[in-house]
Structure 1
Amino acid sequence: MKGGAALVLELSRIVYQSGIASPIGSQRGQNARLRYLNSPAGRAELRAQGVSDRAMRDWFRGKSRPSKANLARLDAAYWTRRRANLIRSGWLTRHLDNAGRGRQIEIYPVDQSHVEHGRERDNVTERTAHVRYLWGDIVDAWADQDDGLLDELWDDIICDLDSDYTAYAYVSAIGISA
């Protein structure tokens, strides 16, 4: 995958790890998500996910529990609002910027086990890059779903890998030390 797409996956993982740990199938997980979404913006997101006003009213009053179909909608609404709130509040940018110290990114190159013998690059190994001052732009591009800008920012990150940087334009995965 392109490096920008790998950034999207890793940022999503960070948001997911910072959220409610209880699964949506548990009563505790459902109650926590309902509390989080008990606001005008949360209710609007539930509506956008296809939940009726009547169902929401019953849930928030404790008269009924979400059906299996609505559990998926409730969970999707929670993660959408959680992502938006972390971006809007600036928490994600501050977390990644780490008071100006930045974060390490581990870069795992494309798996070359299926490349024809003699054409593989055996000198492409896992690398690390220290990223500072780009996190605000990366989070903004992610919020705007601007894949082109994310790819440009990825190029800015890997350009510090000397002459090897083009080998890391496409990656298997990345990891952000968060």
Structure 2
Amino acid sequence: MKKSFNILLILCAVLAVVSCGDKTKSYTDMLNAQEKAIEALIRDSGIVVLKNYPENGVFKDKEFVLLPNDVYMHVIDSGNGTRAVLSQTTVLTRFKGLLLDTDTVIPFENFSSWKFPVEFKYGNYSTQVDNNAFNAFLSEGLGTPLQYVGDRARVKLIVPFQVGSTIGTYSQQSAGTPVYYDLVTYQFD
């Protein structure tokens, strides 16, 4: 009887270990998946990656500069010349793009008139000003262009998960998902 109980106990332990397979991706797996997703986007979209910001500030169609924090940026319009002041300027941003998940590509946008812009203080990407669902996209990567462009600017971005969002119900950093922003607009309040 005791022998049967021990065998049953061992069998249960083995089943518990086998059935509890870790379904989370390792950091290395997330980096590899991100690299493949970004490379595919660059290849399939015909994007040309520049090592340096254009001296005249003008980007040709499909040219993106790779910035020091690994964000890729294409400037459509650099704005009206007014620059954001770190920790002082309130920025309203609207955007549309794609979550570059490894299995699927998920579109998003907040340009509709009934959707509110994401509001943040330049340099502060961890505090939500309101309950806007799109605050989940607030990140260093989304704010990076403000070092180069001003009020009323329009850009395209590829944001790796390392400088992506950390707040809300969806976090780029914990999911390991890069984001392609097909259009981002900035307006200073």
TM-score of the two chains, using structure 1 as the length reference: 0.30
Higher-Rg structure is 2
Of structures 1 and 2, the one scoring higher in RCO (CA 8 A, sep 6+) is 1
Q: Which has the higher strand share?
A: 2
Q: Which has the higher helix share?
A: 1
TM-score of the two chains, using structure 2 as the length reference: 0.29
